[in-house]
Structure 1
Amino acid sequence: MLKKQILNTDFRKAQDVLANADFIEDDIILFDKMDATIAAREPRRMTFILVALCMKGHAEFAVDTQMREVGENDVIVISERHVVDNFKASEDLECLCMIISTRFFYDIVKNVSDMSTLFLFSRNHPVTELSVSEVDLFRKYFFLLKEKTAERENRFRRDVVKTLVLAMFYDLSNIIYRINVCSERKQSRADVIFTDFIRLVEGNFKEQRRVGWYAGQMSITPKYLSEAVKQISRRTPNEWIDSYVTLELRVQLKNSAKSIKEIAMDMHFPNQSFLGKYFKEHVGMSPSEYRQS
């Protein structure tokens, strides 16, 4: 039996397909049809975060080979690295959808504690029924975001949209809390390990970048930590650590007056040259080039 090839989605291609959608370059796209992004019969690995609300009709699709059904008032949350396949929808399907690039998302939630709840939520509940009031709240966010995204002459457009998405994330976290309280499902061992790992990374990434150190703090082996983290998030521990480090470097380069040498000291790099090599490897340009871009 031939295995299906898993294709990666692409934020730029989604922009091209959704020519009439409202978007901010490489950050967010808002549209009212789902079929342009995940309505594919071949497997597609998500490279962005999809949040969608079904307003009418129904659909079904597989997330990591597990079939899911979507109906009216259901919200869909699928984070990066998950594989979507076998999408089928009724002709009357209507959805409010937003695609958020991972870079834009991490930039928005960089100061939000316990970010791991979203990833655990989307893994265990990629489709969740909302209450009438929660549906109304999501609709308000969607249309306000759509309005603000379309204001291309607004010099603060990106910042306004970031603030609105952050507020929506907090309200989504409240929905997650409601679901977790009502759910009888117990967290698996991998869930617990992933949550503890992310909390450790959030508090120590400036000083510690070795997977072995985090495994030692959790009293497990690096191999066991890697297997659990990858099972939950489809990312390795090193990828999580690097994402936190590079995000902090970007923030400091853009939003502080610190010299690159001072940033290297703050982030516990051996020297400025080492930071430069690390940053170029992960971002594609030198710290100086990024600061001036």
Structure 2
Amino acid sequence: MNDELIKLNVNKATQAVKPEKFKDLFLIHIEESTNTAATSYLFEDCFIFLCLEGNETFFINEKQYLVVPNTILIVPPSYLIRKSEGIYQFKAKGVFFPIDLVAKHFNGKEYNLTEMLRTVSCFEVSYENMNELLEFYYFLEKQYEKAVNTYTTPIISNLVFTFLVKIREMYSSTNNTSNFESKSRKISITERFFDLVSSNYKNERTLMFYADKMCLSPKHLSTTIKKTTGRPALIWINEYVILKAKYLIKTTDMSFSEIGDYLNIPNQSFFSRLFKKYTGLTPKEYAKS
């Protein structure tokens, strides 16, 4: 993959765009745009978007998802979402928030909200249902745009909670045969794995380290990650390393040797081989591309 890695979380987004707004929520408007470079995003918080027009293909942890009009896409924390190079062909509304925003104020177990937010889901709803969700979205947006005061947190938390319960209701009424309850154990392991990798990939690259952290056998961890993502756990660990290396090559003045040291890669020769294995290019060739 020849894309860049961009890490996104709600606090960073809010501080960068609207620092005066409620810090635990960020609303996104996606419009059809001009040609864009291939990009990978690591969402450190939950992301839900509602596709209104057009269609687009995304790869989430390298599993392909087609988004069409009236599609709801849920991306859990610590998942990689990639869009290939090209023109955005859709319009959508997005809601970006920490997974504990609702949990801090409500017990969502009755509606399986936590499991829903830890599971990648992509499903279509009726035109009428999408319009109903948009009504919730626009009212949430109206409250979000107001100045922060004593009542902002409970108002927005209640609205997000209602928004999520409505999505959960719509999911339940679709013909989607998967369900959050049966997936919960594997999804929980997968989410925890990616959370650990995103924090430790610079120093820890053995399957044993992550298995020990999760009190699992390496075989169990490897099998679970392969089943839920279609790729081996070790590939994902190295993918994080390579994505970070790409980002540093394109955005900093660090030498290849310095990047290798920063990523705790033993020597320049190994760095070059590893980089080429995953990108098809040497670091020098990638820097010029």
Q: TM-score if structure 1 supplies the norm length?
A: 0.55
CA deviations over 1:99-133 (Å, ceiling 9, x no partner) = 1123424424544333454046x42x3x2211122
Counterpart check, 1:43 vs 2:35 = no
Which letter does structure 1 place at the counterpart of 2:163? M
Q: 2:32–2:87: 8 Å Cα contact kept in structure 1? A: no
Q: 1:48–1:101: 8 Å Cα contact kept in structure 2? A: yes
Counterpart check, 1:193 vs 2:185 = yes
Cα distance change, pair 24–188 in 1 and its aligned pair in 2 (3 A): closer
Q: Equivalent of 1:118, from 108, 116, 119?
A: 116
- Who is 2:57 aligned against? 60
Aligned partner of residue 78 in structure 2, secondary structure = coil
Q: 2:51–2:68: 8 Å Cα contact kept in structure 1? A: yes
Residues in 2 aligned to 1:93 and 1:62: alpha-carbon distance in whole angstroms: 16
- Who is 1:183 aligned against? 176
How many residues align? The count is: 205
Unaligned runs of 5+ in 2: 190-210, 230-289
Q: Equivalent of 1:75, from 69, 72, 86?
A: 72
- Who is 2:145 aligned against? 150
Q: Which moved further from structure 2: 64-73 or 6-15?
A: 6-15
Residues in 2 aligned to 1:22 and 1:135: alpha-carbon distance in whole angstroms: 30
Which letter does structure 2 place at the counterpart of 1:29? F
Residues in 2 aligned to 1:159 and 1:56: alpha-carbon distance in whole angstroms: 32
- Who is 2:14 aligned against? 15
Counterpart check, 1:168 vs 2:163 = yes
Aligned partner of residue 77 in structure 2, secondary structure = coil
Which letter does structure 2 place at the counterpart of 1:55? L
Which letter does structure 2 place at the counterpart of 1:102? I
Q: Equivalent of 1:139, from 134, 142, 163?
A: 134
Which letter does structure 2 place at the counterpart of 1:54? C
Counterpart check, 1:104 vs 2:79 = no
Aligned partner of residue 133 in structure 1, secondary structure = helix
CA deviations over 1:220-271 (Å, ceiling 9, x no partner) = x6667756776759xxxxxxxxxxxxxxxxxxxxxxxxxxxxxxxxxxxxxx
Q: TM-score if structure 2 supplies the norm length?
A: 0.56
State the structure with bigger RCO (CA 8 A, min sep 6), 1 or 2: 2
CA deviations over 1:122-168 (Å, ceiling 9, x no partner) = 42x3x221112210121011111011112215421111110011111
Shift in Å, 1:24: 1.0
Q: 2:4–2:38: 8 Å Cα contact kept in structure 1? A: no
CA deviations over 1:146-200 (Å, ceiling 9, x no partner) = 1111221542111111001111111111122123xx23458998x2634899xxx
Residues in 1 aligned to 2:101 and 2:95: alpha-carbon distance in whole angstroms: 13
Root mean square deviation, CA, Å: 4.1
Aligned partner of residue 193 in structure 1, secondary structure = helix
Cα distance change, pair 163–116 in 1 and its aligned pair in 2 (3 A): closer
Aligned partner of residue 39 in structure 2, secondary structure = coil
Residues in 1 aligned to 2:95 and 2:102: alpha-carbon distance in whole angstroms: 12
Unaligned runs of 5+ in 1: 198-210, 216-220, 234-293
Residues in 2 aligned to 1:188 and 1:66: alpha-carbon distance in whole angstroms: 21
Shift in Å, 1:28: 0.2
Residues in 1 aligned to 2:41 and 2:61: alpha-carbon distance in whole angstroms: 10
Residues in 2 aligned to 1:40 and 1:188: alpha-carbon distance in whole angstroms: 37
Cα distance change, pair 226–16 in 1 and its aligned pair in 2 (3 A): same
- Who is 2:22 aligned against? 24
Which letter does structure 2 place at the counterpart of 1:71? V
Aligned partner of residue 134 in structure 2, secondary structure = helix
Residues in 1 aligned to 2:125 and 2:13: alpha-carbon distance in whole angstroms: 27
Q: 2:39–2:85: 8 Å Cα contact kept in structure 1? A: no
Q: 1:52–1:76: 8 Å Cα contact kept in structure 2? A: yes
